[in-house]
A and B are shown apart, each in its own frame.
Chain A
Amino acid sequence: MSARDGGGERIDPRQPPSPRPETSSGIPLPEFLAREDGEIPGEYPFTRGIFKSGYRGRLWTFRQYSGFGSAEETNERYKFLLSSGSTGLSVALDLPTQCGYDPDDPMARGEVGKVGVSMFSLAEAETVFAGIDLSRISTSFTINGTAAILYAMYVALSDKTGVPRSALTGTIQNDILKEYVARGTWIFPVRPSMRLIADTILFSNEHTPRFNPISIAGAHVRDAGATAVEEMGYTLANGLAYVEELLRRGGDANSFAKRLSFFFYVHMDFFEEVAKFRAGRRLWAKLLKERYGITDPKALMFRFGVVCGGSSLTGMQPYNNISRVAIETMAAVLGGAQSIFTCAYDEAFQIPTEFSTELALRTQQIIAYESGIAKTVDPLGGSEFVEWLTDRMEGEIATILRELEDYGGVEKAIEDGYLQMRIAERALERKQKKDRGETVVVGENYFGAAGAAAVEYGEVFKPDPASEHRIRSRLEDLRRQRNAANVARTLDALERAARTSDTNVMPYLVDCCHAYATLGEMVARLKACWGEFSEPIRL
């Protein structure tokens, strides 16, 4: 019996083949087409992408953001996502975890398990990842202020489950600079925060070489109001600030620069989004080479993930968002993203349902396996228009970098509240343009049903009100059961390490996690050494 007889091997519905290198009519497709200037994908300055074979070698990672309520509920959702074809997990954490408060802290009132899962100790991490082999998945943590602690927890979890640290893959966002500007989960002042980030990157270089210890994010600044040019400009500026910090700590640029990755939003202006990524990728490579003399091509590669949707989505006529996300995903693919997260169409007004989450993943799969746009590398390269726009964007982004340098650097611009003020002004402008009808939003300021603001709700996920209480009692149980002397010993050691300026605190945080010290306890010790950020209010 052969396959031709209709027998043969059945297809594995979860493992589609890579797109065939030919058109649907059978015209063979080259890997890429050469351009007049001779620039090819996978080579400096990487305008056309960081890999010669683009998505032929490997598709981007399909990532969905998920996590809510208790550790058990999150574990169930993860198993569901992995079984329906996700190749990476993305962990949403609740605000107390993000801001460094234990679930029983008065500051955490009403927020425990709300926008993500509560992960206040290694015990919670053990439950969230129960039955999931850490060496076979890539996990992305959207965490910043407490990124070092969550990373230490993940490392401790791998130790406990017998997975070698070197096998861990995933990402922690760990980009504190943009938190001060847009997302607001800062804890410590700028200086010690920069030190903590350098600690994580240097530790990761040594112990978890396949794990991304930072994802320098423009996404939140963009969603808050920045333009595409500003998003890329501020992000590269932040990236350079981390490079400077790592150099001060004696890091080897050729080695640590390989560990830096980026994260952006994709909104609706299709060609500008494509050009933004091409321009950013080229400018980053040039800056690292020309300013710091980095020579290793891998260290010059601008790797980035994206999220499609965000504030480009509307609460009115929410099904329109499905079309928006599809267009944005195509821009991300043509811009050469390494991982894509697609927002669910209902995200603008509720926690996405299983239905909407699956639909968002299917959108990516249709683009990956049916649309054919991933068959040839950088198919827009060489287009007069796209190359012109790429050059223009690069120039504009470089101008932003210069302006920030003239101001005295991003750290100063943040401490002064200058950047925050600029973003607020942009946010106001964006809103006014919509109100005045200059920016068209279909179904919202145009083509909406007259007077209708109504949204049809799906089966909305309601966080269980008892969940906060259950999470608190798990914390009480933990405090009773763990070895208190061990906890105190590891926390004391952490505090001593934090008081010196050149000790890497990461191994001490891992020890604290192993002893089941809580996140709030670790943060309290660090605050005692470093103080807290005081928000400049300038409007």
Chain B
Amino acid sequence: METLRGKRIVIAKPGLDGHDAGAKIIALTLRDAGAEVIYTGLRKTPEYIARVAVEEDADALGLSILSGSHIELVSATIESLRRLAAEDIKVFVGGTIPTPDHETLKGFGVAAIYGAQMRLEDVVASLADHLR
């Protein structure tokens, strides 16, 4: 099932959080689903990540954060995308995001938030839906 064929997706780790298992699981899964995946590696600033997403002509940008700093890091990343006039790049967030913060992130413009308990095929289906 290559539901993401032709899509370019950047997976990024903003901030100092070094837990990258989730980011890599998603990167491998999206690649298996046909997407072109670019993984930034650890410890990247929001400004750097936004620039990579633009330079790679990404359809989507996935941010993985488990350190509790998602409010600051996500808003800074979206702000950077805006400054680069790249609001068309859809932003997704994964990691440990407490439910009460979901609305806040969506208010910043995040398209969807995925948690560790979600089935991978559901993540792929949801992404495909958003990127249609």
Interface residues of A (CB under 8 A from B): 95-96, 98-99, 101, 106-111, 114-115, 179, 182-185, 223-225, 314-316, 348-351, 423-425, 427-428, 431-432, 435, 444, 453-455, 457, 460, 463, 535, 537, 539
Contacts and interface: CB of A to CB of B under 8 A. Distances in A.
Contact of A110 (B19, B20, B69, B100): B69
Interface string B64-76: 0001110111001
Q: Is the interface of A mostly helix, strand, loop or mixed?
A: loop
A185 B67 contact: no
Nearest to B40: A537
Contacts of B21: 182, 223-225, 423-424, 427
Contact of A535 (B24, B29, B42): B42
22 contacts: A96-B16, A101-B16, A107-B16, A107-B43, A109-B76, A110-B76, A111-B15, A111-B16, A114-B68, A184-B43, A316-B117, A350-B98, A425-B28, A427-B21, A427-B25, A428-B24, A428-B25, A453-B115, A455-B99, A457-B100, A535-B42, A539-B28
A444 B98 CA distance: 17
Interface string B105-123: 0000000000111011100
Contacts of A99: 16, 43
B25 A95 contact: no
Contact of B39 (A107, A316, A537): A537
Given A184-B18, A453-B117, A537-B41, A463 B25 contact: no
A431 B25 contact: yes
A539 B20 CA distance: 12
A186 to B, nearest CB: 8
A424 B25 contact: yes
Interface of B: 15-22, 24-25, 27-29, 31, 37, 39, 41-43, 45, 67-69, 71-73, 76, 96, 98-100, 115-117, 119-121
A537 B37 CA distance: 12
A427 B19 CA distance: 12
Contacts of A351: 68
B67 A111 contact: yes
B93 to A, nearest CB: 14
A109 B14 CA distance: 11
Name which of B73, B115, B117 has the most chain A CB atoms within 10 A of its CB: B117
Nearest to A185: B18
Nearest to A441: B117
Name which of B16, B24, B96, B98 has the most chain A CB atoms within 10 A of its CB: B16
Contacts of B98: 349-350, 457, 460
Given A109-B72, A539-B37, A539-B39, A98 B16 contact: yes
Contacts of B72: 109-111
A106 B76 CA distance: 12
A107 B100 CA distance: 26
Given A111-B67, A463-B68, A424 B24 contact: yes
Contacts of B28: 424-425, 428, 539
